[in-house]
Structure 1
């Protein structure tokens, strides 16, 4: 049977013009996505994923630990693997993203052929998915794509398996759909909505009668599959509520809900259906759709007019829109409860929160227009259409929308590529470390807030992010003479300790504070608190000797060198004196230069 399917597929590719046109469209989309994705780089949450897996270990508990409400162990492990292959080389994750996109494209094409056959009517739904701007953010941002692209893959392939189950009743097809679901849930908890999509599709097209009658119809014929889906769904949902749920669903009922609905339905989804948004509101590296009033109205008008025309000339067409309605409604409630209640309604414009809508709407469009092979009920022609019965008009409309959507996507991709702050930062940093003749003594500081949020501490520390480059770095809390740190542009620069506190002039003339084996406590001219302080001790030593230095709750044992040198050390959380002791017999250290401050790179020091 497998050989028969392979021969049939090969014959379609060689001889069927519709399949050839579909493959050409897929190739065009993948070429465009390759340009957009390979031109991108790591951003924000990408670094948090890398830092977590490199520093906290590979235990399942680490990978499955919730991140901003997301449970994505497979995505975490895939992040670790891509970083293992080539640290900070975005070509590796870009290739993975593109491969996921190709798998999703193949899944949609297989699904359309399985549902409707090789007919020209499958090309408009395919084009809607391939070129819609909704999918662009997740195509080029690793942290978003590594969970949402698998959801799209699962939506297409699980539904294709489920259709085979509904037609033939063989449980193995339901098992295959469940395997796809389990794989998707390992990447993204929102994949659970796919089960709802499968249920809606079954109720709409493979049952008849009232809603209770349809439920009974499905239960009598497909109870084995229903039980499988229910066990997976309920088991996963129960586990997610315990492990990952970090918000109350009741928060969805708040004053921001009308604004969220307007944002997600009109300004985001509907505008994208018309090829929009054509204008974005840019902030740092990201962007949210900001269509002007004409584009927003055109999107709503196009959706309404096309749906109305389909309704006029096709029976049973309205039920198809339950699919995007279900996914969009679920996204609205999840965003309102889990994001908007914390950061405001503007975030609901972000396409990441409805990234699957292009995939779902494409399937719905096909179901609204085309008869489904083997379905109990489906759309059928009932009147002539000035649009649907004229392939040239459909092709013109699809072409215009696809071109506009590609322009919108290109706008987003160009900004994403050009506005990346992390790429030059790490390029400078890794280049400077590579050129250094020996491991560089570095102050361990956080990367700039524009690269990774401080809330991610300690994963945002340079030592965590540069774990793969341990042979080139020497993150330290104590150093002699040479101490460096990374400036805001990623360059390794000498560290300067501006004077916030200093020791008063010592009592021994030119020696200042004379320190011998018994040790000495050197007072400062005021206290320091809240941590982040470094002590600089300029000294003259008569010989090399062990030494112990204490500044608050920070204590170090090191060595003083003969002659004039400077000792740098990280102080404690709060202190108002420095204790120096532990010198060898007959060794004298003189210092009149004890200062405390928060270090800055030399390029950023303004005395």
Structure 2
């Protein structure tokens, strides 16, 4: 039987091992999807403004996560090193907090405490959200806060805190709760989890009222904080927007249970597949699903047969695993949502932590008394910890736990291989270098028009955060982004800066004059060969100008923009919003006259695809 010092050293070794593995995982990763949305917003807004911090992002209210993302973007724009370090540091804080919680709940359990810790540290349920920066900024602070507050709640409920420190403990936990909420609104679940954990650690359901009284300041403070935060959340976000389906929610929740939570109990899945731009999807083998159910059944039997209150502990953990999936799956339950969304597993880190709490509670629960040969014999002793010496169960649990950890590492390696199949990192690196090179041309260098990043990087429904001017807004040095240029260059799908052209959505008819007799001396309407719907378009217009100057150009229902022209033959490319069936043109410089040739309205693209 290991002593307390050895247990602490093993726990420290497990945490360090986890951080090394997680460090390797993020070192081989890069930005992905919502990461770039955070970068785009941090690059186009002051990072301390409410417009940035209070933005409702995809149903989330997360000002603290926005703040960290903004600081990282400000210090090292599009440099993955800083986000990777953030994730490892946040994981270290969470892992230490979990070990503190396990030792608080089960102070005399040794092998059982290490098994509970190892389950949290290496569970596949915690991997996908960790590797994804935007998701990690949400869930890692929640995990750390949940572990910390559960530990404090158990200490207060048991009376382990003297009167001189009670105020410090509940105020500290309230501050931690507020911080967690500022990262992720799902941290509201911390309150019921902490309450149930404190009740079960204090003797079970019959100890509910004593637990409420023993930690009343904490419960009042957390409840008031949660109520206020709910009000703020619904004022700043619209979580009910979009299509929703009860049937689809039920299918997603069930798939999450059977193909994500259950196989993770044996370290699965081992197979991860990815179809860019989606994140990796886990596909467990049937034996993993069956094995997971068998593990759950075995733990349930042991809890009921050997631990007083074990059925309630297991029941609460299972209830959380299912109930916690309902809000997020409801939010994703449109008829178009693929059922495989539930197998991405990025919504499960808090479930892994609740299972860890349940394991610690089972280790701490008093054992049942068995009658053997006319005398009472303890199968184990939760109060003294000596029962672990009298049973082969700890050794068996250690072997099974080690096998599950090995299986989980196989899953992590497979996930990492799939996660690396991501074009974003190469695109950002190439594009940043191309922008640096373009800026080196000097003060008369290029002016770039805005454009969307490739579809495999970000898709149009996140507009305008898929625009290069926002994603690369804090990169320096780089050319200026403007609304008009006489030399059109674009970033290709690999991130290289190449000559651009304009696709032919509509044709602008040539003017009736000539270069000798220019027809545009005042406000003029240029006809299109058909109507346009309102959208950010790019106009390519050839002209002859009598002198250098400036023109104003607008689509029928859009705002006018200014563009420079040069004497003689030339072309101008203008990024403009609006629609309609004509283009309005007006010289602004006195004495400027123009003849306009044929032009195009469409999307900026590589010249080889745009036809010039």
More helix by percentage = 1
Do structure 1's residue 536 and structure 2's residue 521 form an aligned pair? no
* Aligned mates of 1:179, 1:503 — CA distance in 2: 61
1:440-475 superposed Cα distances (whole Å, 9 cap, x missing partner)? 322211222332232222222211112113651222
Shift of 1:512: 5.9
Aligned to 2:399: 396
Superimposed CA distance per residue, residues 16-37 of structure 1 (whole angstroms, 9 cap, x where no aligned partner): 2111111111111111000001
One of 239, 257, 267 as aligned partner of 2:232: 239
**Aligned residue pairs, count:** 580
Task: Say which is worse superposed, 254-263 or 360-369, in terms of deviation.
Answer: 254-263
The answer to whether the Cα contact below 8 Å between 2:518 and 2:544 also exists between their aligned partners in 1 is no
For the pair 1:307 / 2:272, whether they are aligned, the reply is no
Name 1:196's counterpart in structure 2.
Answer: 192
Deviation of 1:277 after TM superposition, in Å, equals 1.3
The SS at the match of 2:493 is coil
Give the superposition deviation at 1:195: 1.0
Q: 1:280–1:287: 8 Å Cα contact kept in structure 2? A: yes
- Pick the aligned partner of 1:160 from 151, 154, 158: 151
- CA deviation vs aligned residue, 1:317-362 (integer Å, no higher than 9, x gap): 2222244224213223213422224635432333122221222212
Alpha-carbon RMSD? 3.2
CA offset at residue 416 of structure 1? Answer: 0.8
Give the distance between the partners of 1:62 and 1:381, measured in 2 at CA: 59
Match of 1:429 in 2: 431
> Structure 1 residue 476 and structure 2 residue 482: aligned?
yes
Distance (whole Å) between structure 2 residues aligned to residue 110 and residue 34 of structure 1:
22
Q: Give 1:358's match in structure 2, choosing from 352, 357, 363.
A: 352
Q: Which structure 2 segments of 5+ residues have no match?
A: 371-377, 381-387
Contact 1:537-1:593 at 8 Å conserved across structures: yes
Separation in 1, partners of 2:520, 2:451: 34
Q: Distance in 1 between matches of 2:213 and 2:601?
A: 78
Conserved? CA contact 2:62–2:183, under 8 Å: yes
Asked if residue 24 in structure 1 is aligned to residue 29 in structure 2, the reply is no
2: CA distance, partners of 1:219 / 1:589: 81
Cross-structure match for 1:65: 55
Deviation at 1:515, TM superposition (A): 1.1
Q: Is the 8 A contact 2:549 2:589 kept in 1?
A: yes
Q: Alpha carbons of 1:398 and 1:494: their partners in 2 closer, same or farther (altered >3 Å)?
A: same
* Match status 1:464 vs 2:478: no
Deviation (angstroms), 1:518? 3.6
2-structure distance, mates of 1:505, 1:203: 80
* Other structure's SS at 1:274 match: coil
8 Å CA contact 1:175–1:225 kept in 2: the answer is yes
Q: Deviations over 1:424-451 (max 9, x none)?
A: 1111211111112144322211222332
CA contact (8 A) 1:174 1:225 kept: yes
Q: State the 1:177 CA deviation.
A: 2.2
2:21 is paired with a residue of what secondary structure?
A: helix
Deviation at 1:598, TM superposition (A): 3.5
Alignment of 1:141-160 (within 5 A): 141-160=132-151
3-state SS of 1:469 partner: coil
Is it true that 1:442 corresponds to 2:432 in the alignment? no
Contact preservation (8 Å) 1:517, 1:582: no
CA distance in 1, matches of 2:291, 2:106: 29
Distance in 2 between residues matched to 1:506 and 1:232, nearest whole Å: 66
Mind listing any 5+ residue stretches in structure 1 that lack a counterpart? Answer: 1-11, 372-377
Q: Distance in 2 between matches of 1:524 and 1:223?
A: 74
Matching of residue 318 in structure 1 with residue 314 in structure 2:
no
Report the Cα distance in structure 1 between the residues aligned to 2:458 and 2:355, rounded to whole angstroms: 34
Go from structure 1 to structure 2 and tell me whether the alpha carbon gap of 1:123 and 1:602 turns closer, same or farther (over 3 Å shift): same
Q: Are 2:436 and 2:477, in contact at CA under 8 Å, matched by a contact in 1?
A: no
Asked if structure 1 preserves the Cα contact closer than 8 Å seen for 2:541 and 2:598, the reply is: yes
CA distance in 1, matches of 2:234, 2:600: 52
Q: Following TM superposition, by how much is the alpha carbon of 1:93 offset from its aligned partner in structure 2, in angstroms?
A: 1.2
TM-score by length of 2: 0.86
Write the mapping of 1:264-303 to structure 2, written as runs, cut at 5 A: 264-284=256-276, 285-303=278-296
CA distance in 2, matches of 1:520, 1:219: 76
Paired residue secondary structure (1:356): helix
